[in-house]
Structure 1
């Protein structure tokens, strides 16, 4: 069971999307787990074949519990389709083995349901209920004679927890409260802010978008994320994790971007390898992430991988924000709205579009001097957006 946030202690395995013997590749979605954040798609991080499923659907287990075994590609042949497992494997049942002819009996025997296929046997009541509830009978484990599917098997299958659409706002709020309370209780926050002229960034966006269709245009958020990703390599003490005993910098930069969820709540899933993405690809990833998160759809790596977080409330008219660090991260960067303000240019005062960037940081991992340099570097990069 992957850890999908500092506040997560357990999760419920609600659906297997792969079965024993299935070939899998890095990045494939293999299961769905349910947490306070909603239904999360669990990705796999190596190539191979599914061995055994160790946790049955509908089971809640602590973080760190093995969910399945994976047979690596060092094997010449894939594993058998149904290896032994300590819990029932939730896969279509195998066809019953042919039985030897029995001698004639004078006892009256109940009539048997003739199977429609060699691999599927189900009673008429089971078929009717499956049709009523839109259930594929091949997914139902039969408990009748010879593995035949009975009405009770279909009823049990339909009552199992499934991949839930969306999230429970009350659960999400409790999860946020737990994480933020822990953050303010345990992390010695300090805050810095820096204001800069955003004229160059706005001009660049206008020129870039003028000749492009709406689907290919950039938003300011893409520039902010890109500038932050390019600044962080020189300030590694702001990109990583503090486990209570010490700070561990992350070589990779996976920027989490805070997104409001419909119905209430907030999530900050990661845009992985942010610094390696050119602006068009970064914008594509951001659009996809925003659409899925607002529907309550997440992937496990997006919640477990962020190394630093950006929160932007400029579209809500907020001048500056003092964000709370999401543990075990050690920094969060906030961007406010762009507002016309008096600005000194060549010894004269002019109206300029001004943006304020803030830093909330963990004093156990870094300090204000370096934090000020980080904010200054982000602002410098945004003065030359054509180089982003």
Structure 2
């Protein structure tokens, strides 16, 4: 992918901020039209033909976000930039845009994530801080989420060598407020990143996306302490889906905060008692999954007949269905089905999912 021009970078941010266009749809639009500029030109027609209403993100809102980023000393990274983090760009789907405050070069260095309980034990905090320090001295950038407990201890342990904090809100949204000083030090010595707009305040729905970026930036994820129903285990699951190594620090069965890591170990996570366990796992002959190139839109027609849209929509159900299966059922080319599904998605008549899946 060539280095995007300024107009293309603006268009990618605008496309990413348009309501109803998530990372999957964003990627499909770029694949079909080759650029965000062309995708924006075709969007009104596509949405209208699928039966939806046209509501592109206003230009002045995008200009205000760019101005806010500049005022905060933040840097915009769009998918396609040469320094967009390589591991993150390989996700299915990749986040279309990122804001970064601090040293964005850290995002392209070997990273490992560390997550765990917000109300951590004294021992858990000591382990997180010490292990993060060891990882940093061994050349790794430690990634976490700036939360209370294990996250904060991991950042503190790796401050001198390089740490990345991934936020749910905008890069200028300090959460929790008690970490204001830690946030300031990370901006000065590390990097703070987010895919949320400048000024956005973190909502509950933002944290799964935040967790996906934490694991996506990293070669592996270490879980120090976590109860069975926790965001840390969501991050571990996402890491596993992304082909990353999952490490777990074992703990006492008497402590509920050990149940998460101990359960991960039962499921095949890598035992982690120190740096040696991480380096042993990383030294094995194993490569991260390479992204599979999607050729679904090769030969896609410019116009999709309304009857075809209705036939495809009628086959959709809440259960995710492979795009290729729909094409076989209808006796249509995959390119036609892919183009039709994109239009149905923009009209909110279908939901595009990773891996070529779609649901009603």
TM-score by length of 2: 0.26
Which has the larger share of strand? 1
* Structure possessing the higher radius of gyration over alpha carbons: 1
Which has the larger share of helix? 2
TM-score by length of 1: 0.25
